[in-house]
A and B are shown apart, each in its own frame.
Chain A
């Protein structure tokens, strides 16, 4: 790689980075952890979930680490009281938006949202639960889509478009009414484009997409396989 080398500080420590990298990429290569939800190594970052927000010296507002490029001499703080407060509220907002009933979820114990709440010490929410009435799509022969558990991270949308090239998924409508949709709001099982590869299921951070027939706690996602595949494709290209 001929990219220009630059160095930045992350939580005080010097980290080597290359021009064009994001703060998150540089942090990971330098062995630093920044919490993320919508990010998945190997697919394009979108900066949607706002969990990876970091503070950069000289800039008042926090920046998303997954989409902000590194700059020479940058000093990044990944954990401050303000950021922790912010991340907690973000998780609380995700928890109240839909019906996350961890106790009866296929992904209980393997869910990134649940783990994020635990790591941030979220023991309750400060807002009223929304309790929306949402559907479950059981039309696909192998997989299930449960809107109750979806956090709209769009990992499935991106993995389907970028790695499988099928473009089955997208979000439709807007605001609180935003939903994941297959094709023209059809049933997943009716989708002409879906190859049934299951990449979206493995990429999904919660129990929103799961394999059929899994009972509570049985759905363990293998999103590292998505990242490995993306890496192989990158090497081939």
Chain B
């Protein structure tokens, strides 16, 4: 049987959703034989592959790099899932949205720094004006709010796709 190609992506988030994903305990063993993890912080692949079946996105779209990534991912993914509050609502990363970017960087990297004062420019992507939910940039097929969403909810989505079912959009969900 052809394995389901699954990717995970980590945009502007705390990685807690990835932790929750790993928290599925023994369920990971039965899933492992049926899915292939093709991209994400948990594997080595450098470039996002073509023809991915399911991509779980953690985090808000916060930088130019996030934006480029998510657009490419959308083109190469059949089912795009916003995993967790940051991807669904903006959540904590969006708390900076009322502050102009330059003011924010100044406060953190100059006024707030003890040594090495200065806004980093090399090797870091430029911040967008605001951190915003994934759905505001590309089409999202399913939203799993929660901070983080329970492991069962995440594995349930993968299990549904494996069974050829449409993931249940009326799951019991909770923000926060």
Contacts and interface: CB of A to CB of B under 8 A. Distances in A.
Direct contact of A and B (CB under 8 A): yes
Interface in A125-167: 125, 128-129, 131-134
B132 interface: yes
A121 B145 CA distance: 11
B145 A132 contact: no
B91 A101 contact: yes
B174 A103 contact: no
Contacts of A133: 98-99
Interface in B75-128: 82, 85, 88-92, 94-95, 97-99
Contacts of B143: 123-124
Given A129-B89, A129-B90, A131-B98, A124 B82 contact: yes
Contacts of A123: 88, 143-145, 169, 171, 173
A50 interface: no
A161 B140 CA distance: 46
B40 interface: no
Interface size class on chain A is: 20 to 34
Given A109-B176, A114-B174, A133-B98, A124 B91 contact: no
A100 to B, nearest CB: 7
Contact of B94 (A95, A125, A131, A134): A131
Contacts of A102: 85, 147, 174-176
A105 interface: yes
Contacts of B147: 102-103
B133 interface: yes
Residue with the greatest number of chain B CB neighbours at <10 A, chosen from A102, A109, A132? A102
Interface of A is mostly: loop
Residue with the greatest number of chain B CB neighbours at <10 A, chosen from A123, A129, A133, A134? A123
A131 B92 contact: no
Interface residues of B, number: 30
Contacts of B169: 121, 123
A117 interface: yes
B83 to A, nearest CB: 12
B33 interface: no
Interface in B126-176: 130, 132-133, 135-136, 140, 143-145, 147, 169-176
A131 B97 contact: yes
Contacts of A131: 90, 94, 97-98, 130, 132
Contacts of B92: 101, 103-104
Residue with the greatest number of chain B CB neighbours at <10 A, chosen from A101, A103, A108, A117? A103
A122 B88 CA distance: 11
Contacts of A124: 82, 88-89, 133, 135, 140, 143, 145
A85 interface: no
A99 interface: yes
A114 B176 contact: yes
A64 B60 CA distance: 37
A118 interface: yes
5 contacts: A99-B95, A102-B85, A108-B176, A123-B171, A128-B132
Given A99-B95, A124-B143, A132-B98, 10 more contacts: A100-B89, A100-B175, A101-B92, A103-B91, A118-B172, A123-B88, A123-B145, A124-B140, A125-B89, A131-B130
